[in-house]
Amino acid sequence: MTMSTLIAERHPSDPLFRADRLPHIWCPGCGIGPAMHAYAQAMVESGIPLARHVCVSGIGCTGRVPGYLNMDSYHTTHGRAIPFAMAIALVKPELEVTVYSGDGDLFAIGGNHFIHAARRNVDINVICINNFNYGMTGGQVGPTTPMGARATTAPFGNYEQPFNLPHLAAATGAVFVARWTSLHLRQLKQAMLRAMKKRGFTFIEVLAPCPVGFGRPNDIGDAMEEMTLYREGCVVDPAAPLDSLDIDLRVKDRPIVLGNFVDVERPVFDPLAMMRPTSEAENNTAVAGKTQEGQ
Amino acid sequence: MTVTTQAAPAATQEQEMLISGSEAIAEALTLADIDVVTAYPIRPYDTVMQAIAKKISGGKLVAEYIVAEGEHSQFEIVKHASTVGARVFCGSSGVGWAYAMECLVVTPALRVPMVAMVGNRALDDPGAFGVEHNDALFVRDLGWLLCWIDSSQEALDTTLIAYRVAEDRRIFLPIAISADGAFLTHSQAITKVPSKSLVDKFLPPYNRGDLQLHPDNPITVAPQVNEDWVIEIRRQNNAATERAYTVIEEAYADFRRVFGRGPENPWFEEYMTEDAEIILMGMGTLSLPVKVAIRKMRQEGKKVGLIRLRWFRPFPYEQLARALGTAKAIGVIDRDYSFGSPFGSGVVATEVRAALYNAERRPPLIGFICGLGGREVTLEDVYKTTEICYSAAKAGKTEQATYWLGVRE
């Protein structure tokens, strides 16, 4: 057997990506790529035809994800992915709409949209790659930068309380809330599958290494070291109290808690419900082609 | 990286540093001893906010540094800080500047002397990080004073001058300093950095006087006035903009007196225009390829010159009419677009045409749109521009009012 026979001509996921858009913009060791692949696999396994999936992003490194996926996708203005996605989900409820964007985009400039979409329980999935900084613009401090972590605009270390994203999502009304890392790709894919099967506002936080923007100023040598940090520092505890999910890298041995924390039912946002005949309104969960699965 | 070289012998109160346009602005802000700065990252403006953060962490500058959650709040915060008497700085690029638009409208209307930097960047969509001037031009009709710079030295000097002009009680208007993304924000050059004591001779402290919000001076900022007062207030803003012609000239004269350098003509730089048959015009860093091309064309006997516009608001229409009157043809290179404009020209060409309307001599004027989205303005583009201008000069009229150059077909 020659070496060449070991090299596959095609990767099973090739049809899901736009090879003509390569090389991608992400730095070596970036955690966005593996998390994007988990999303692609989840789409395939979801049983929902790819033609019914839509991916919407804002601006930033993670915002480039829709451009690399060979599917209907939208690269919106900074922070506005959720309103775009909301419009698509309301006009075409048969579509599986996923927002795939970064922490800076979703929780700084676009934070307002997140809390209101969650409050209304709009039928979209929000996947947030959290790399603790604004990566694309050069590693500035953001609303998810852990206390004490350094950034180009926080040379003494961040002194602002960051968001505890799962807690925020649950408190504002999300019906499914999870946190995984780009090391925990199987669990991440399973969480995505659950989110796709579920009606209502779902949220998945994905912790991902940013060796250039976040790792370098914080003495994390490379992406492997940040992945090791995840492997050694993460514990899976779906029953953990939501207010205990803060990430504080200053405290040695303080675990980063992962899991699917919330999976509840709540009426899905349906502004036209009151205009429909009663019998139809009662059946609004059975939108064509997309039925709610039990717990 | 900042490299300090030997002090310039001519001015012992200045030291030379190898710094980028953005770092030069941060040096000026340190010398101006700003009080409040807000930040939200977007390329290429982010290089300024990082340079300021370094100044603060290095103990060179004591200022409130607030990281906002978006450009809208970024500009709101400094606006209000200015009303309580703080010297403020802010900035953005491209769509970030656009997102701050509501606050940008209010800032001159409230007579807030903010100094802002716009790292010029193409607007989305389709996305690009490179330079276009349309972002800063958003505010051209609102009372913002607007200028374009083309070197690190001019970045530093203009920032000091901007505070002096903006905070002049006769003005109290915001000033946006535009720097071409990448070409200037990221390019380093040897820059003279003056001492604090020298700067103090030029730039007095910010004094908002009776307009300052203070517990001892209860006033209402931004009350609703309806039709009772709006047009009167608009006219006051216009009067302040007109006074800026005098105040800017005074500031540049004083700058030369204190620092022993700086341009005599604040409004525009003239390069080989004395005997020029063809005068090319533009703003920002495109002056570099244009100057190189002019030197080469001069060797071939072509009398070509350049006017690089520094101040776009207030627009130096009288000075330009005089400077352009002797040319046989004028070519304006716009690094911007204005779809549906008269003759389909860019913004600068349209303004220059208007400035020449009442002039005694109106040479043929051709608009060129070039270098959009960060594409380079090449020597070939400049040769082509000149060639078209010569044809117009020969014919005594323009056959085509606007050309797009360097575009793939």
Residue A245's domain is classified under what CATH number? 3.40.50.970
pLDDT at A129: 98
Cβ contact B49:B91 at 8 Å: yes
Query: Does the pLDDT at position B124 exceed 80?
Result: yes
Residue of A77, A134, A155 with shortest CB distance to B41: A134
Give B 18-47 residues with CB within 8 A of chain A.
39-43, 46-47
Is A2 inside a domain boundary? no
CA distance A104 to chain B (A): 8
Return left, alpha or beta for A240; rule: phi > 0 is left, psi -120 to 50 is alpha, else beta.
beta
Q: DSSP secondary-structure letter at B275?
A: T
For residue A289, the model assigns a pLDDT of 44
What is the spatial distance between Cα B286 and Cα B293, in angstroms, rounded to a whole number? 11
Cβ pair A160:B46 closer than 8 A:
no
B62 interface with A at CB cutoff 8 Å: no
Nearest residue in B to A74, CA atom: B125
In a domain, A264, yes or no: yes
| Interatomic CA distance for residues B94 and B132, integer angstroms | 8
- Residue A289 contacts by C-beta under 8 Å, 6 or more apart in sequence? A48, A52, A94
DSSP string, B19-74: EEHHHHHHHHHHHTT-SEEEE---TTTHHHHHHHHHHHHTTS---EEEE-SSHHHH
Q: Which of B259, B279, B309 is the last residue of a domain?
A: B259
- Which token pair is B223? 């009350």
Residue B169 placed within a domain: yes
- Pair B134, B116 in one domain: yes
Give residue-wise pLDDT tens across range A17-27.
999 998 999 99
Contacts of B127 in chain A (CB under 8 A): 75
B244 and B212 belong to one structural domain? yes
Contact A160 B67 (CB under 8 A): yes
Asked if A52 and A96 count as a contact pair (C-beta separation under 8 A), the reply is yes
Considering the domain architecture, whether residues B353 and B379 belong to the same structural domain is answered as: yes
Average pLDDT value for chain A: 91
For B357-375, what is the mean pLDDT?
96
pLDDT on residue A9: 82
In this prediction, residue B11 carries a pLDDT of: 52
Here the tokens at position B380 are: 């070939």
Confidence of residue A286 (pLDDT cuts 50, 70, 90): very low
On average, the pLDDT of chain B sits at 95
Return the residue of A nearest to B49 by Cα: A153
For chain A, the domain total comes to: 1
Tell me, yes or no, whether B391 and B348 share the same domain.
Answer: yes
Question: Is there a domain that residue A295 lies in?
Answer: no
CA distance B121 to chain A (A): 14
Q: B180 with B56, same domain?
A: yes
The helix-helix angle for B46-57 and B21-31 (nearest 10°) equals: 40
Structural domain includes residue A18: no
Mutate to test the interface with B, among A106, A114, A153, A156 (most CBs of B within 10 A): A153
B2 lies in a domain? no
Contact residues, chain B, for A81 at CB < 8 Å: none
How many angstroms separate the CA atoms of A212 and A270, rounded? 43
Cβ–Cβ of B41/A140 closer than 8 Å?
Answer: yes
B22, B49, B50, B52, best to mutate vs chain A, most A CBs in 10 Å:
B50
Whether the CB of B135 is below 8 Å from some CB of chain A: the reply is no
How confident is residue A275, by pLDDT bands cut at 50, 70 and 90? confident
pLDDT digits (tens, 9 = 90+) for B263-320: 999 999 999 999 999 999 999 999 999 999 999 999 999 999 999 999 999 999 999 9
Contact B69/A111, CB-based, under 8 Å?
Answer: yes
Q: Does one domain contain both B192 and B295?
A: no
**What's the per-residue H, E or C state across chain A?**
CCHHHHCCCCCCCHHHECHHHCCCCCCCCCCHHHHHHHHHHHHHHCCCCHHHEEEEECCCCHHHHHHHECCEEEECCCCCHHHHHHHHHHHCCCCEEEEEEEHHHHHHHCHHHHHHHHHHCCCCEEEEEECCCECCCCCECCCCCCCCCCECCECCCCCCCCCCHHHHHHHHCCCEEEEEECCCHHHHHHHHHHHHHCCCCEEEEEECCCHHHHHHHHCCCCHHHHHHHHHHHEEECCCCCHHHCCCCCCCCCCCEEEEEEEECCCCCCCCCHHHCCHHHHHCCCCECCECCCCC
Structural domain count of chain B = 2
Among B65, B67, B70, the residue with its CB nearest the CB of A79 is B70
Percent of chain B surpassing pLDDT 70:
97
Find the CATH number of the domain harbouring B344: 3.40.50.920
Record: contact B67-A153, CB cut-off 8 A: yes
Read off the pTM. Answer: 0.90
Q: Are residues B112 and B225 in the same domain?
A: yes
* A261 at interface of B, judged by CB pairs closer than 8 A: no
With CB atoms and an 8 Å threshold, state whether A153 touches B57.
Answer: no
Residue type, B46: D
Interface test with B, best of A59, A152, A159, A210 (most B CBs within 10 A): A152
H-only helix segments in B86-225:
94-99, 101-109, 134-137, 152-166, 196-202
Q: What are the tens digits of pLDDT across the range A201-247?
A: 999 999 999 999 999 999 998 999 999 999 999 999 999 999 999 99
Mark whether B42 and B187 lie in a shared domain: yes
CB contact under 8 A, A108 and B65: no
Judgement on whether residues B228 and B292 belong to the same structural domain of the protein: no
Examine the domain organization and report whether B139 and B73 are in the same domain: yes
A residues 44-83 near B, CB within 8 Å?
Answer: 75, 77-79
Q: ipTM, 2 decimals?
A: 0.84
Mutation for testing the B interface, residue in A59, A134, A140 having most B CBs under 10 Å: A140
Q: What is the mean pLDDT of residues B328-349?
A: 98
Q: Hey, what are A126's tokens? A: 């929000």
Q: What's the confidence (pLDDT) of residue A10?
A: 85
Which chain B residues contact residue A79 at CB under 8 A?
70
Please list every residue in chain B whose beta carbon sits closer than 8 Å to the beta carbon of residue A143: 69
Q: Show the domain range for B72.
A: 15-259
Residue B409 lies in a domain: no
Q: Is A109 on the interface with B (CB under 8 A)?
A: yes
Average confidence (pLDDT) over B140-169: 98
Residue A20 lies in a domain: no
Nearest by CB: A78 against B39, B53, B95 = B95
Q: Report yes or no on A43 lying in a domain.
A: yes
DSSP-H helix ranges across B194-270: 196-202, 226-259
A141/B71 CB distance under 8 A: no
| CA-based nearest residue in chain A for residue B42 | A137
Q: Please check the confidence at residue A4 and state whether its pLDDT lies above 70.
A: no
**Model confidence band, residue B8 (pLDDT cutoffs 50, 70, 90):** very low
Let me know whether B163 and B110 are in one domain. yes
Is A137 at the interface with chain B, CB within 8 A? yes
Classify residue A7: in a domain, yes or no: no
Tell if the CB–CB gap between A138 and B46 is shorter than 8 Å.
Answer: yes
Closest chain B residue to A133 measured between Cα atoms? Answer: B41
pLDDT in tens, B10-50: 456 899 999 999 999 999 999 999 999 999 999 999 999 99
| Window B:92-121, CB contacts with A under 8 Å | 95-96, 99
Distance between B222 CA and the closest CA of chain A, angstroms: 25
Q: What pLDDT is recorded for position A292?
A: 47
Confidence of residue A5 (pLDDT cuts 50, 70, 90): low
Is B148 within a domain? yes
Instruction: Classify residue B10: in a domain, yes or no.
Output: no
Report yes or no on A15 lying in a domain: no
Within 8 A of B44 by CB-CB distance, chain A residues are none
> Is A152–B53 a contact, with Cβ atoms under 8 angstroms apart?
yes
pLDDT band of residue A109 (cuts 50, 70, 90) is very high
Q: Per the structure block, which two tokens stand in for A249?
A: 């890298």
User: Which CATH number do you get for residue B169?
Assistant: 3.40.50.970
pLDDT digits (tens, 9 = 90+) for B37-93: 999 999 999 999 999 999 999 999 999 999 999 999 999 999 999 999 999 999 999
Among A79, A142, A153, beta carbon nearest to B49 = A153
- Residues B325, B222 within the same domain: no
Percent of chain B past pLDDT 90, that is, above it, reads 95
Name the percent of chain A lying above pLDDT 70: 92
Let me know if residue B30 belongs to a domain: yes
Is A137–B96 a contact, with Cβ atoms under 8 angstroms apart? no
User: What is the per-residue pLDDT for A274?
Assistant: 78
Choose one of B199, B225, B259: the last residue of a domain. B259
pLDDT digits (tens, 9 = 90+) for A72-105: 999 999 999 999 999 999 999 999 999 999 999 9
Q: Is residue B8 part of a domain?
A: no
CB B393 within 8 Å of CB B331: no
> Where in the sequence is the domain holding A54, given as residue range(s)?
25-280
Residue of A nearest to B39 (CA): A153
In a domain, B7, yes or no: no
Query: How close is the nearest chain B Cα to the Cα of A134, in Å?
Result: 8
